[in-house]
Amino acid sequence: MQRFTLWSATCLLAASFLSSAAFAQNTVTTVPDSVTGTWILKYEGGSVPFAAGTTVTLIIDGTTDTLCVNGKALGNPFRKSGSLSALTFWSDTASGFDYSWSGDAGSAEFVVWDSATAKDKGYFYGARSSAATTGCTGASTTLTPPVLTLDAQSQALMNLAMELYPSLFGSDGTEVRTTQGYLYRYFPKSGIYVGFKDGYVFLLGGVFGTIILNKGPASSVRKVLDDEKSSRISIK
């Protein structure tokens, strides 16, 4: 899958080209208690250190400032200089990978980096599954990733767009995902992302280019689609 999300894609893609020298300047940091909890997410965008599609349990404990990755506790969080200064990192020196976190309790993105080359290898993203920290004991057998849904207006708009423009918004679309307050779906065949936030519709990728486009209020976009459907019916 392409390394794009609705908000953080540009900075992360740019950051993947930074030299390892730039990553050497680290500053000790802490984790806010407000983000303590468990995320159960699928690994995407790469094949190491996990196979693509692997479900991994990630636990952030704000009281100990640790990140637990499938039962392995990583301590001593730090920040790196330059473009990545907003991210919180933990290093797994045994495996040679760093893990970064950004976001909040509602939506977070975890990226895996090669410690030696400073290249991003893959990522997890999504909403927190639980506020609990059940211990660093590996993948949970009781919690499941939360199912995200669009509101009725956004879902109706999405259905209409898929009906009218199947080459752009086909049946290959992913489930609803979230990042930085957006709810969105990705359509791999066309490379398009459709996002919803605060009642507005956003498009990114494919024929719409690499800059996020604000298409206006969902109600206005829905009217345009309704008019298009009506015009097609009248022609018939």
Nearest to 177 by CA among 165, 193, 163, 160: 193
Q: Is the pLDDT of residue 12 over 70?
A: no
**Whole-number Å distance between alpha carbons of 106 and 235:** 46
Q: Say how far apart CA 22 and CA 55 lie, in whole Å.
A: 31
SS3 at position 198: coil
- pLDDT greater at residue 134 or residue 35: 35
Cα 158 from chain centre: 20
- What is the pLDDT confidence band of residue 119, given thresholds at 50, 70 and 90? confident
* pTM (two decimals): 0.53
How would DSSP label each residue in 152-189?
HHHHHHHHHHHHH-TTTS-TTPPPPEEETTEEEEEETT
pLDDT mean over 155-182: 88
Say if CB 109 and CB 179 are below 8 A apart: yes
Q: Is the pLDDT of residue 164 over 70?
A: yes
User: What pLDDT is stored for residue 146 in this prediction?
Assistant: 57
Q: Which of 149-153, 180-184, 196-200, 213-217 has the lowest mean pLDDT?
A: 180-184
* pLDDT value at 110 more than 90: yes
Burial 35-49 (b: 16+ CB within 10 A, else e): bbbbbbbebbbbeeb
The CA–CA distances, whole Å, from 143 to 2, 28, 64, 85, 147 equal 28, 32, 22, 32, 12
**Whole-number Å distance between alpha carbons of 174 and 230:** 28
CA 128, CA 132: separation in Å to the nearest integer?
Answer: 10
pLDDT at 117: 78
**In this predicted model, what pLDDT tens digit does every residue of 47-84 receive, in sequence order?**
889 888 888 999 999 888 999 998 889 999 999 877 88
Using 50, 70 and 90 to split pLDDT, how confident is the model at 25?
low
Q: What value, to the nearest 5°, has the Cα angle with vertex 121 and ends 15 and 191?
A: 80
DSSP H or E stretch at residue 112: strand 108-114
Please compute the mean of the pLDDT values over residues 152-176 and round it to a whole number.
92
What pLDDT score does 19 carry? 35
How, if at all, do strands 200-204 and 213-217 pair? antiparallel
**pLDDT higher than 70, residue 148:** yes
Domains of the chain: 9-126 (2.40.160), 152-235 (no CATH)
Are 90 and 98 in contact by the 8 Å Cβ rule? The answer is yes
Would residue 222 be called left, alpha or beta, if left means φ above 0 and alpha means ψ between -120 and 50 degrees?
Answer: alpha
Evaluate whether 205 touches 185 at the Cβ level (below 8 Å).
Answer: no
